[in-house]
């Protein structure tokens, strides 16, 4: 359907001197994913070697929601839809802190032991999921495949192992 605008299609005009790559990035369309579709939609509207022409209104490809699977988030939260590409091209490296055997602050509630590192990890996972929902690339540096995102008011016993940049640390549980 090259060149034919549908009712739901968005249009944009390039800024002076803007090339195809910059134009797609400015319109929050990842180049690898949308370049070919953009060229197909706008067939016949380009200069030599698919250069953008000044004053021409181009059809932008419709963004599709991607299904993302991230087992680190747990069974309930591990599969979700990308809601936007607002953060497309952004890269985040997240560290929840307390890597290795340091559990952080320890408290007690209703007979359960509470460890600060578990909640810091939970907040880190929630942030990672939110960033990914908005199109960002996220690297989670401290990983625990057993924990996932916690249910509200659900308290876990201290995790026994954490994976930190590929090295396993055995946590010491003094109550054992």
CB burial of residue 119 (10 Å; 0-12, 13-18, 19+): middle
Q: In whole angstroms, give the CA distance from residue 162 to residue 144.
A: 5
Give me the residue spans of the domains in the chain: 10-60, 67-170
Tell me the pLDDT tens digit for each residue of 46-69.
999 999 999 999 988 877 667 889
Tell me the pLDDT tens digit for each residue of 94-109.
998 765 677 888 888 7
Report the pLDDT value the prediction gives residue 88, as an integer from 0 to 100.
72
Write the CB contacts of 15 (distance below 8 Å, at least 6 apart in sequence): 23, 26
Average pLDDT over residues 10-31: 92
Dihedral sign for Cα atoms in the order 48, 1, 88, 53: positive
Q: In whole angstroms, give the CA distance from residue 152 to residue 149.
A: 9
Instruction: Report whether pLDDT(70) > 80.
Output: yes
Report the pLDDT value the prediction gives residue 1, as an integer from 0 to 100.
30
Task: Report the predicted TM-score, pTM, of the whole model to 2 decimal places.
Answer: 0.55
Report the pLDDT value the prediction gives residue 28, as an integer from 0 to 100.
86
Q: In whole angstroms, give the CA distance from residue 114 to residue 143.
A: 19
Write the CB contacts of 67 (distance below 8 Å, at least 6 apart in sequence): 79, 80, 81, 82
Write the CB contacts of 47 (distance below 8 Å, at least 6 apart in sequence): 53
The phi, psi pair for 152, rounded to 5°, reads -60, 140
Tell me the pLDDT tens digit for each residue of 75-130.
999 999 888 777 877 889 999 876 567 788 888 877 877 788 887 888 899 999 99
């Amino acid at each position: 359907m090259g060149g034919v605008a549908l009712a739901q299609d968005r249009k944009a005009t390039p800024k002076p001197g803007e090339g195809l790559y910059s134009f797609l990035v400015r319109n929050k369309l990842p180049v690898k994913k949308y370049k070919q579709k953009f060229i197909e939609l706008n067939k016949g509207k380009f200069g030599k070697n698919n250069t953008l022409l000044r004053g021409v209104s181009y059809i932008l490809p419709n963004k599709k929601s991607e299904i993302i699977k991230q087992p680190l988030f747990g069974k309930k939260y591990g599969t979700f839809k990308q809601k936007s590409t607002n953060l497309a091209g952004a890269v985040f490296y997240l560290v929840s802190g307390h890597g290795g055997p340091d559990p952080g602050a320890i408290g007690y509630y209703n007979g359960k032991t509470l460890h600060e590192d578990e909640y810091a990890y939970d907040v880190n996972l929630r942030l990672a999921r939110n960033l990914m929902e908005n199109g960002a690339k996220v690297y989670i540096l401290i990983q625990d495949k057993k924990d996932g995102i916690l249910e509200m008011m659900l308290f876990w016993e201290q995790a026994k192992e954490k994976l930190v940049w590929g090295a396993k640390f055995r946590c010491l549980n003094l109550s054992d």
